[in-house]
């Protein structure tokens, strides 16, 4: 791909070559050429059926404009995908496609269909105009709705610049409606950028030396799902800082670092609809509340609240204090805080932030051959994941 500088210099010469449009993640040049395809829809979410038709339009035209439309409270926003978010996800999904450009149409203030067709189409034509170089290019609208084809042709049928192509939806038997109802069932049909919205997020909380990391690893591998590492442990080792030495800056770095570590697993290509996390803002806040003074806690409060509101866990698994005389592990970062005090602070914070209905305490009764309850907690956690997330994990008691 030529840079913008290289392209301009080549255009100054007399060499007649085809130059691909310059692409960045945030901006793209307007679509050039004699034939432009326009693909519009709600895209809540974008799925492989949409993609197949968009790529078909790209092959048959010089460029394709993908327009997501919607209004406040539409079916996308009802599941947490408002118009602006859909626009950003679409733009990311086609960021490396120089021939495909994305825009959005805000339908707020437009009369409901069928009364709003005139205003809606005028807005769409304006969006098309601002995204193409040749204002006289032949425009082909692509839609899977016969009624949409009829309404557009009723208004533009006499203009040879425009035509409407009706797509065959029977080729791929999938719809956004089916996905919204059962996202895990139709996971493979969801565009990878949009999958992050539907992933079921599980966090495991527990004190040091509770077997938390081992449990997380085994749960995730039982489901073939991604899992995050404990960023605090990584940070403390790399920074060579003990628990008693950590200050506000350290906690701030860990809060944001853990959030990014969890986000990487959500966005991982290995994500199969479930992600399990080894660290979160509430777990860290419970720890810092027991080690920092009041002024320091207040300085971190806003950052904690911001991250906690963004994490949106579907299930919180909590490991309570337990006794295991065989387990005598000492934290390399210093003496751990009292596990009972930490557990009590965890429960208090979970209740304070209103997440008690998402919490399951892993307190399954121990068996004679499992005195510390490791296997009992593993089975209880698997059952809880199936109940709270509808993610089916094959396991046998």
Check if the beta carbon of residue 143 is closer than 8 Å to that of residue 167.
Answer: yes
**Does residue 72 have a known ligand-binding role?**
no
- φ/ψ of residue 91, rounded to 5: -60, -40
Contacts of 336 (CB under 8 A, 6+ apart): 207, 208, 209, 243
**Does residue 37 have a known ligand-binding role?**
no
Structure tokens given for 145? 């709705």
**Does residue 43 have a known ligand-binding role?**
yes
**What is the DSSP annotation of 218-284?**
HHHHHTT--B---HHHHHHHHHT--GGG--HHHHHHHHHHHHHHHHHHHT-TT--SEEEES--HHHH
Check if the beta carbon of residue 98 is closer than 8 Å to that of residue 30.
Answer: no
**Does residue 145 have a known ligand-binding role?**
yes
Contacts of 387 (CB under 8 A, 6+ apart): none
**Does residue 306 have a known ligand-binding role?**
no
76-111 as b/e: b if 16+ CB within 10 A: bbebebbbebbbebbbebbbebbbbbbbbbebeebe
| Planar angle of CA 70, 76, 80, nearest 5 degrees | 130
**Does residue 188 have a known ligand-binding role?**
no
**Does residue 153 have a known ligand-binding role?**
no
**Does residue 47 have a known ligand-binding role?**
yes
Contacts of 300 (CB under 8 A, 6+ apart): 248, 251, 252, 255, 285, 288, 292
**Does residue 3 have a known ligand-binding role?**
no
**Does residue 334 have a known ligand-binding role?**
no
**Does residue 54 have a known ligand-binding role?**
no
**Does residue 144 have a known ligand-binding role?**
yes
**Does residue 194 have a known ligand-binding role?**
no
Nearest to 41 by CA among 97, 87, 101, 99: 87
**Does residue 302 have a known ligand-binding role?**
no
**Does residue 113 have a known ligand-binding role?**
yes
Which residues does residue 101 pair with via DSSP β-bridges, in sequence order?
65
**Does residue 355 have a known ligand-binding role?**
no
**Does residue 117 have a known ligand-binding role?**
yes
**Does residue 108 have a known ligand-binding role?**
yes
**Does residue 107 have a known ligand-binding role?**
yes
**Does residue 98 have a known ligand-binding role?**
no
Structure tokens given for 214? 């081992």
**Does residue 2 have a known ligand-binding role?**
no
> Residue positions in the annotated binding site?
40-43, 47, 107-120, 143-145
> Residue positions in the annotated binding site for NAD(+)?
40-43, 47, 107-120, 143-145
């Amino acid at each position: 791909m030529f840079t913008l500088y290289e392209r301009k210099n080549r255009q100054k010469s007399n060499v007649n070559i085809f130059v691909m449009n310059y692409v960045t993640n945030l901006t793209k040049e307007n679509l050039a050429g004699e034939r432009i395809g326009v693909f519009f829809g709600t895209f809540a979410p974008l799925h492989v059926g949409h993609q197949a038709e968009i790529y078909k339009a790209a092959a048959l035209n010089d460029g394709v404009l993908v327009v997501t439309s919607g209004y406040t409270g539409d079916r996308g926003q009802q599941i947490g995908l408002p118009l602006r978010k859909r626009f950003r996800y679409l733009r990311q999904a086609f960021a490396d496609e120089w021939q495909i450009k994305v825009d959005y149409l805000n339908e707020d203030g437009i009369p409901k269909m069928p009364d709003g067709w005139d205003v809606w189409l005028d807005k769409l034509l304006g969006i098309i105009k601002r995204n193409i170089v040749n204002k006289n290019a032949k425009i082909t609208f692509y839609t899977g709705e016969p009624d949409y084809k009829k309404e557009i042709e009723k208004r533009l049928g006499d203009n040879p610049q425009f035509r409407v192509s009706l797509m065959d939806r029977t080729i791929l038997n999938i719809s956004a409606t089916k996905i919204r109802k059962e996202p895990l069932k139709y996971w493979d049909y969801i565009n990878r950028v949009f999958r992050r919205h539907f992933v079921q997020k599980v966090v495991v909380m527990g004190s040091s030396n509770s077997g938390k990391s081992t449990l997380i690893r085994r749960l995730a591998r039982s489901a073939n799902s991604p899992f995050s590492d404990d960023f605090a442990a990584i940070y403390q080792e790399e920074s060579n800082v003990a628990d008693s030495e950590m200050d506000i800056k350290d906690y701030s770095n860990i809060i944001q670092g853990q959030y990014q570590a969890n986000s990487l697993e959500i966005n991982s290509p290995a994500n199969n609809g479930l992600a399990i996390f080894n660290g979160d803002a509430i777990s860290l806040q419970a720890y810092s509340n027991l080690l920092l003074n009041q002024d320091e806690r207040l300085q971190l409060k806003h950052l904690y609240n911001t991250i906690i509101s963004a994490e949106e866990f579907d299930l919180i698994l909590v490991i309570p204090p337990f006794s295991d005389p065989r387990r005598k592990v000492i934290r390399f970062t210093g003496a751990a805080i009292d596990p009972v005090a930490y557990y009590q602070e965890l429960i208090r914070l979970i209740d304070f932030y209103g997440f008690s209905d998402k919490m399951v305490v892993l307190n399954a009764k121990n068996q004679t051959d499992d005195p510390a309850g490791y296997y009992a907690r593993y089975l209880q956690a698997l059952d809880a994941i199936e109940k709270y997330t509808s993610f089916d994990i094959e396991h046998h008691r």
